[in-house]
Every structure is written in structure tokens, then in C-alpha cells.
Amino acid sequence: MGLVLWIIVLIVNFVEALYLLVQYIRLKMRNAPDQAYKDLVSSPLWLLSLIISIILFIIGNILS
């Protein structure tokens, strides 16, 4: 069970990293201002997903 949770956390983090990379490339192509980059990384979605990933990681460690 713990291994499954670790795999889920890794997949979610990988998808988030790919999304951030795509958004970064789009902003770079449009020569966006610095504020657009700050808005990209400070959205509440990333904070929520980070918290969920940490909780799942801790549960996975406890179960394994």
C-alpha cells in the first residue's frame, strides 16, 4: 500500500512539473513580465497539491 501511495505522489509531481514547464515556455515565448512568472508559481493549486503530496508521502512511510 505504501508503495502505491509513493507512485501516486511521484506521478502527480511529475505531471505538475510538466505543466509548469509548458506554462513557463509559453510565458517565455510571449516575453511576459516578471509578475506573470510570480503568479504562475504562487497559485493556491500548487500549495494544495504540495500539502497533499506530503501527507501521502508520510502515510506511505508509515504503511511500509
Could you give the dihedral angle defined by the CA atoms of residues 32, 33, 38 and 40, in that order, rounded to the nearest 10 degrees? -20
* The one-letter amino acid at 62: I
Residue 45 clears pLDDT 80, i.e. is over it? no
Q: 8-33, pLDDT tens digit by residue?
A: 878 888 888 888 888 888 988 998 88
What is the pTM (predicted TM-score) of this model?
A: 0.67
* The one-letter amino acid at 56: L
Q: Considering only CA atoms, which of 59, 52, 51 is closest in space to residue 5?
A: 59
Region for residue 31 given its phi and psi (left: phi exceeds 0; alpha: psi -120 to 50; beta: otherwise): left
Q: How far, in Å, CA of 20 to CA of 33, rounded?
A: 16
